[in-house]
């Protein structure tokens, strides 16, 4: 079985997760942190645990090996969204430098776990560069798209190029719009979720024109998320195999459009673990290996 880290849609073979018990920890920590982290409202820990168990079972259904990030006093509730702190490549992990100051310790916490599991590290993004994993998506084995956002700056992108271009990787920069500004979580993958080599879920009103046109030129079919499902995280879709994906429930139009495109769609209730914190199923996972 051939595998790669350079895919967002191949059958998932290994992935990092962080359960609410290890990220939210207890009600006292939630009460202390949720406002300052810009959660929409206070998550209920018991309901979050129940939601996550269902989500975790859906991920496990792919047959993937699951790694779990532990409790770490240096990080916050946001660490449940474990994609953002690192980027997976066939040459080793790239340790990010977070654009959200409250998340600054997450990359080092994940790097400790990579070391514990003997997962190699290619390099670290250093200040003043910032780079978050939600701004990065593999288009194909040699093309990595990266969003220039308030969380990922030009210096972070320069360092990413410095790390990957010597291996023949093309960095495709998508200059993202202002949207709600620096305080909001708005990544490239907020508007773009690949679910097969030529199929992606998108929210076109907030996509850079050049990036959207580039996808069409590459032969992509775009599953459009309606305005009514944008805030409900309709565009945040995790592929666990080609055209088999997981999404937050409450997005019936997007779900129907995915099914019409030949996709199998699994849903989970994500009010506590996704909607309140602005992190859908792609954010909740740090995929490693996928089948080619």
CATH number at residue 101: 3.75.10.10
Cα 114 to Cα 119, 122, 169, 259: the distances in Å are 5, 11, 23, 36
- Does 209 score more than 90 pLDDT? yes
**Tokens for 247?**
């999404």
The predicted model scores a pTM of 0.96
Nearest 5 degrees, angle CA 268-CA 230-CA 195? Answer: 60
pLDDT single digits (tens) 236-258: 999 999 999 999 999 999 999 99
- How does pLDDT run across 135-159, given as a tens digit for each residue? 999 999 999 999 999 999 999 999 9
Based on C-alpha coordinates, what's the Rg of the chain?
17
> Whole domain around residue 26: which residue ranges?
3-291
Tally of domains within the chain? 1
């Amino acid at each position: 079985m051939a595998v790669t880290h350079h895919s967002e849609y191949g059958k998932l073979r290994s992935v990092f997760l962080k359960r609410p018990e290890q990220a939210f920890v207890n009600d006292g920590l939630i009460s202390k942190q949720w406002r300052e982290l810009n959660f929409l409202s206070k998550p209920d820990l018991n309901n979050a645990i129940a939601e996550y168990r269902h989500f975790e079972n859906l991920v496990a259904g792919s047959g993937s090996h699951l790694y779990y990030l532990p409790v770490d006093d240096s990080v916050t509730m946001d660490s449940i969204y474990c994609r953002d702190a690192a980027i997976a490549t066939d040459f080793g992990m790239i340790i990010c430098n977070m654009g959200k100051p409250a998340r600054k310790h997450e990359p080092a916490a994940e790097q400790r776990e990579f070391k514990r599991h003997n997962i190699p590290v290619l390099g670290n993004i250093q200040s003043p560069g910032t780079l978050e994993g939600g701004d990065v998506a593999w288009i194909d084995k040699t093309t990595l798209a990266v969003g220039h956002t308030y969380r990922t700056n030009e210096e972070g992108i320069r360092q990413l190029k410095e790390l990957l271009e010597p291996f023949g990787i093309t960095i495709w920069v998508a200059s993202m719009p202002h949207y709600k500004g620096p305080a909001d979580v708005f990544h490239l993958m907020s508007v773009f979720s690949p679910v097969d080599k030529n199929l992606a879920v998108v929210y076109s009103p907030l996509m850079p024109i050049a990036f959207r046109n580039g996808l069409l030129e590459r032969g992509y079919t775009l599953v459009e998320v309606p305005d009514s499902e944008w805030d409900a995280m309709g565009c945040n879709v995790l592929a666990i195999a080609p055209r088999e994906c997981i999404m937050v429930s409450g997005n019936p139009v997007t779900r129907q459009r995915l099914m019409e495109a030949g996709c199998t769609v699994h849903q989970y209730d994500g009010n506590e673990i996704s909607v309140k914190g602005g992190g859908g199923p792609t954010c909740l996972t740090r995929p490693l290996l996928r089948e080619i």
